[in-house]
Amino acid sequence: MEMLDNTVALVTGAGQGIGRGISLALAAEGTAVAVLGRTTSKLDDTVTTIRERGGTAVAITADVTDPDQIEAAVAKTVDQLGGLQVLVNNAQEFNFGTLLDIDLALVDAGWRSGPMATLQFMRAAHPHLRGRGVIINLSSGAVLDSDPSGIGAYAAVKAAIDALTRTAAVEWGGDGIRVNSVMPFALTPATQAAFDANPGELEHMPGSVPLGRVGDAEVDIGRAVAFLCSDAASYITGTSLVVDGGSSYLR
């Protein structure tokens, strides 16, 4: 018996990278997954992979910065999969740059796709999660970095997500809802783009990780999320789990 049999999850930003990895890992443990994102072709690929492995999944094309689409996505998940026990807020626009140079439009997009979307999804999902629900919000080790130069705006939105996570854990604990955040480090299209912009960095990166490798979105991050969603983690709430091979401890 898989540890998440008879559960339904909604994962945002699930067409690629960490969101895809989380979706695959949850499905492997018996969860029916609604994979949400903006690019239908990427979502269809994730759904196809899950189904080929024997799992259940549906694709929901939506923009997480649109409150009406958020409400519709939650309703569609419940309608098509029969309920909702797990919400994973992963979608996020990246907003890198120094404080004096960063485009404020990027900053705004970061806030709308990050903390605002996270809060709106949590509120929309709350009635369905009551009793035995789990919320996982994706944070970042950037929040822990002693020198966030060039990523300060990104770190700020992730710090806000951590604050929402802790608040929801306290306010909704009596409703039977656990809320945690995960700070991952894995090779994804976004991290690969950052490495491509800084040639040679990827070669040296494993040396800064005590475990000596860059994480895998499904095996390392996805399985950690699946654990947090399971009854094995039923006494864990309001915390941030760092899943980065130990690299945060070197900052």
Q: Show the CA angle centred on residue 165, arms to residues 224 and 195, nearest 5°.
A: 55
CA–CA separation, 143 and 226 (whole Å): 23
Q: How far is CA 245 from the centre of its chain?
A: 18
CA–CA separation, 46 and 48 (whole Å): 5
- What does the buried/exposed string (b/e) look like for 132-142 if buried means 16 or more CB atoms within 10 Å of the residue's CB? ebbbbbbbbbb
Q: What proportions of the chain, in percent to the nearest 5, are helix, strand and coil? A: 50, 15, 30
Sign of the C-alpha dihedral, residues 177, 156, 223, 33?
Answer: positive
Q: How far is CA 154 from the centre of its chain?
A: 15
CA–CA separation, 19 and 36 (whole Å): 9
Residue 183 and residue 248 in contact, taking contact as beta carbons nearer than 8 Å: yes
In this structure, what are the phi and psi dihedrals at residue 102, rounded to the nearest 5 degrees? -65, 140
Q: Show the CA angle centred on residue 98, arms to residues 96 and 102, nearest 5°.
A: 65
Point out the catalytic residue in the list 154, 168, 186, 243: 154
249 is catalytic: no
CA–CA separation, 97 and 164 (whole Å): 24
Q: Look-up: residue for tokens 């909702």? A: 84
**Residues with catalytic annotation?**
154
